[in-house]
A and B are shown apart, each in its own frame.
Chain A
């Protein structure tokens, strides 16, 4: 069964700390994504990557950065955590298909981050 694994289910960090959220997929997918999920706001795209060392900004990249040094691993970095970054963070991956093929995302179980 295909899997996207997020390293932590729950995380509590202090304001100003540098925070790393890790995501690993075992499906050899080219594309990886980071979303945050907040009540009433749904899922919002932070960053995505379509290849090793490549990254693209999503809709809400401010305050975040990402790293993709290996195909299977996509890290989300909060350079200086703030309380408004308290949220559920979801990682996803997908294949890059030919033009005529559609792809679905596989999501991880999420990391609930609390910044105090």
Chain B
């Protein structure tokens, strides 16, 4: 099955600086890579996702890059703000029809220092 590794487990950055979280996956058939943000006391919420036929996707201050050859993908947050503090999870999935479960990384606790 799929295995997703996520680094770092904790990331502390100064407000206004950029944050980068990296993930690798093992199954070359995986073709969908979402990122989730989980705030305290809440369930994870999708913030951005990317398909395997795209190398980069951007949504305001958030971007995701995918390197299929190396089987890794990264989340980039620019101009970080206090509300970006949360746990972030990457995930991978082979979406070939039918149902299957996302495989998640272990999460990164992002701390934005004022």
Please determine whether chains A and B interact with each other in the same assembly: yes
Which residues of B lie under 8 Å from residue A45 when comparing CB positions?
101-103
Kindly specify which of A13-21, A75-83, A99-107 makes contact with the partner chain: A99-107
Query: A-B pairs with CB below 8 Å: how many?
Result: 64
Whether the Cβ atoms of A43 and B89 lie closer than 8 Å is yes
A31-B99, A43-B89, A99-B96 in contact; A107/B105 too (CB < 8 A)? no
Decide: B101 and A58 in contact? CB cutoff 8 A.
yes
Task: Map CB proximity to B onto A19-38 as digits: 1 under 8 Å, 0 otherwise.
Answer: 00000000000110101000
A50-B98, A102-B32, A109-B43 as given contacts; A41 in contact with B106, CB under 8 Å: yes
Contact B105 A42 (CB under 8 A): yes
A48 to B97, CA, bound (A): 15
Contact B32 A48 (CB under 8 A): no
- Interchain residue pairs A-B with the least CB separation, the first 10: A50-B99, A107-B43, A42-B106, A45-B101, A43-B104, A31-B99, A104-B46, A42-B104, A102-B32, A109-B43
Q: Which residues of chain B are within 8 angstroms of A49 by Cβ–Cβ distance? A: 99
Interface of chain B residues 79 through 114 with chain A (CB within 8 A)? 89, 95-107
Interface size on A, residues (CB 8 A): 32
Among B1, B41, B42, B99, which residue has its beta carbon within 8 angstroms of that of A56?
B99
Give B97's nearest chain A residue, CB to CB: A99
The answer to whether A42 touches B43 (Cβ under 8 A) is no
Residue B51 interfacial (CB < 8 Å): yes
CB of B106 within 8 A of CB of A40, answer yes
Chain A residues near B32 (CB-CB < 8 A): 102
A59 within 8 A of B: yes
Task: Offer 20 A-B interface pairs, CB within 8 angstroms, sorted by A.
Answer: A31-B99, A33-B101, A35-B104, A42-B106, A42-B107, A43-B44, A45-B102, A48-B99, A50-B99, A56-B99, A94-B99, A96-B99, A99-B96, A99-B97, A102-B32, A104-B46, A104-B49, A108-B43, A109-B41, A110-B42
